[in-house]
Amino acid sequence: MMKRRTLLAASAAGLAASMSGSLFAADARPFKLFDTHAHFYTNQPDKYPFNASGARKGAERTIAKAMARPMTPKVVFQFWDEIGVEMGTGVQYNSTYNTDNSYLLDIAKAHPDRIIPVVILSPTDAATPTTLQKMVKENRIAAVRFSGTPNERGEVAFASDAASDTWAAANELGLTIVLMSLGANIPASLTKIANFAERHPNVKVAMDHIGYPHPELLPASFGLSPEHLALAAHKNVHYKFTSLLISEMEDNAKAANKPMVELKPFIEHMVSVFGIDHLMWGSDHGNVEVDDVAYAKRALMAASGLTQAQQQAFFHDNGKALFVPGGRGRAKA
């Protein structure tokens, strides 16, 4: 798997190098990037103990990765500087720390000009609404992230009655809620998410990885299910296009013995469905095991058919407007 991805990344890098330098040179591009999806973790377990119980690739492998190559601000900023990222979100990394947000909040406090914290808490914990209020005031968080695997009826904890108080608190505070559904029943969960988005109009919902469309299964719609299309009607729902999504689509296409969808028409279709003001880019740096620079260039290349204003919205303005330190506050009457 890694050898194949390395070859794909190298091919993408070679193609990018053959393109106009102005598209990829950070100092020549007419706008900076805003990274909506970067992960930070360190190899200091004495100070920041690991809790890798939720790691999808296994606790032992995840901790070994963190110890060998920690994603400290120095490391992430080097990547950001190389591709021209002004600032971005630090998304709590469940795989290393679960809901202990200590490391993220400490480095966000040390680097407020570059890191905007997106924490992870339990959506159904009775203490979460109060914790959100505290974190907004003391830590200037912009968002809280929830993930889960829906059952066959699309039921998932973060969009259940048990999470209602948490959503109500986020609505009052004007926070963004980042959601990631996993597994085979993602489309069914989108109907539940749409219901919660409609009930909480002052919450901005950010769907990680555009809700995992499957172009190899639904080529006519570039992988968007009817539930994805219905979700587009909810204007407080937004969508992240990430390096992880690219690599997932590669893997799914290979597993189905079908060609990988071309990213340029894919992006342009997402714009036609969701609107340019509802899409944003994120690297997933620190999680996805690809050449992050090459994949960032692939994203830029995929959006090259958009106008300059649309590209700036996609790669900078939309994400920066969505992730507001300290939340957006109560909705205006």
pLDDT at residue 118 above 50? yes
The fraction of the chain above a pLDDT of 70, given in percent, is 92
Q: What is the DSSP letter of 313?
A: I
Contacts of the segment 101-105: beta carbons below 8 A, 24+ positions apart: 101/135, 102/48, 103/40, 103/41, 103/42, 103/48, 104/40, 105/135, 105/139, 105/141
The answer to whether residue 76 is domain-embedded is no
Alpha-carbon gap, residue 119 to 107, rounded angstroms: 13
Per-residue tokens: 73: 């601000």
Q: Please give the angle made by the CA atoms of 260, 265 and 268, to the nearest 5 degrees.
A: 135
The answer to whether residue 249 is domain-embedded is yes
Write the burial class of residue 29 (CB in 10 Å: 0-12 exposed, 13-18 middle, 19+ buried).
buried
Residue 58's pLDDT is 84
The answer to whether residue 329 is domain-embedded is no
The answer to whether residue 115 is domain-embedded is no
The answer to whether residue 41 is domain-embedded is no
Q: Please give the angle made by the CA atoms of 143, 101 and 158, to the nearest 5 degrees.
A: 50
**Full-model pTM:** 0.92
Alpha-carbon gap, residue 203 to 176, rounded angstroms: 6
**For range 49-68, the mean pLDDT:** 89
Residue 333's pLDDT is 66
253 lies in which domain range?
2-7+27-32+120-322
Integer distance in angstroms from the first to the last C-alpha of the chain? 53
Q: Do 201 and 236 contact (CB within 8 A), yes or no?
A: yes
pLDDT at residue 8 above 80? no
**For range 154-161, the mean pLDDT:** 97
pLDDT at residue 1 above 50? no
Largest Cα separation within the chain, whole Å, is 55
Q: What value does the mean pLDDT of the chain take?
A: 92
The answer to whether residue 82 is domain-embedded is no
Calculate helix-pair angle for 2-18, 243-255, nearest 10 degrees.
120
Q: Which helix (H) or strand (E) holds 167?
A: helix 164-173
The answer to whether residue 207 is domain-embedded is yes
Residue 17's pLDDT is 43
pLDDT band at 174 (very low <50, low <70, confident <90, very high): very high
Alpha-carbon gap, residue 232 to 228, rounded angstroms: 7
Number of domains in the chain: 1
The answer to whether residue 233 is domain-embedded is yes
Write the burial class of residue 26 (CB in 10 Å: 0-12 exposed, 13-18 middle, 19+ buried).
middle
Report which residue type is found at 254.
K
> For 266-316, how does the pLDDT look when each residue is reduced to its tens digit (9 = 90+)?
999 999 999 999 999 999 999 999 999 999 999 999 999 999 999 999 999
Q: What is the CATH number of the domain that holds 295?
A: 3.20.20.140
Residue 15's pLDDT is 43
pLDDT band at 12 (very low <50, low <70, confident <90, very high): very low
Name 91's bridge partners: 118
